């Protein structure tokens, strides 16, 4: 009961400790999927926008949020899924982009036309720089990497394969 009305700042801190199931080096707050946290009297309302609709990780994320808050004594939680506006890689902050790069994944580029604005398959027009050596000479090897939101590239200079977090 002590934490029943924990400040929303504290709650944001707790949520920052929840890793994304697909990219555990990023928290759900880094990803920008937590859109709103506020109290409605005795009930805490959290709004989450999944990275893309039908994301299989969404139910796992919801369970992590519930369990994390339950551990802190918050029992009355309303978890709302908001699909519009759709999540966009524009919501990834600089911290998230730096963490992606540190993990060897080329972050979405500002110059890239988001996938949601392109016809299918047309997204590969822009190629990301190699996160390992910085070379711009990279070639796409697969539209999907370890997850649907990533594509696979190979560097023409250091010959290392790497993943690119596509721009949505
Ligand atoms: Zn390279």
**Boundaries of every domain in the chain:** 8-81, 92-165
Three-state DSSP at 137 gives coil
pLDDT digits (tens, 9 = 90+) for 80-106: 999 888 888 888 888 999 999 999 999
Q: How far is the CA of 125 from the centre of ligand 1 (A)?
A: 19
pLDDT above 70: percentage of residues in the chain: 82
Per-residue confidence (pLDDT) for residue 110, from 0 to 100 = 67
Could you tell me the pLDDT band of residue 118, with boundaries at 50, 70 and 90? low
CATH value of 8-81 in 3.30.300.130, 3.30.499.10, 3.40.50.970, 3.20.20.70: 3.30.300.130
Q: How far is the CA of 105 from the centre of ligand 1 (A)?
A: 12
Q: How far is the CA of 106 from the centre of ligand 1 (A)?
A: 11
Per-residue confidence (pLDDT) for residue 122, from 0 to 100 = 47
Angle, nearest 10°, between helix axes 8-15 and 58-71? 130
Q: Residue for token digits 């928290």? A: 27
Q: How far is the CA of 154 from the centre of ligand 1 (A)?
A: 8
Q: Which residues pair with 161 in a beta bridge?
A: 154
């Amino acid at each position: 009961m002590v934490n029943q009305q924990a400040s929303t700042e504290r709650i944001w801190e707790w949520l920052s400790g929840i890793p994304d199931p697909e990219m555990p080096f990023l928290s759900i707050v880094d990803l920008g999927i937590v859109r709103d946290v506020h109290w409605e009297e005795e009930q805490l309302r959290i709004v989450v926008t999944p990275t893309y609709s039908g994301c299989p990780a969404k139910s796992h994320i919801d369970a992590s949020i519930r369990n994390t808050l339950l551990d802190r004594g918050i029992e009355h939680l309303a978890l709302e899924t908001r699909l519009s506006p759709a999540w966009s890689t524009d919501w990834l902050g600089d911290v998230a982009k730096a963490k992606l790069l540190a993990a060897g994944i080329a972050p979405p580029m500002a110059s890239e036309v988001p996938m949601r604005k392109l016809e299918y398959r047309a997204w590969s027009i822009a190629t990301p720089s190699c996160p390992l050596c910085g070379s711009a000479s990279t070639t796409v090897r697969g539209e999907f990497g370890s997850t649907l939101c990533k594509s696979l590239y190979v560097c023409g200079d250091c010959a290392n394969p790497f993943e690119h977090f596509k721009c949505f």
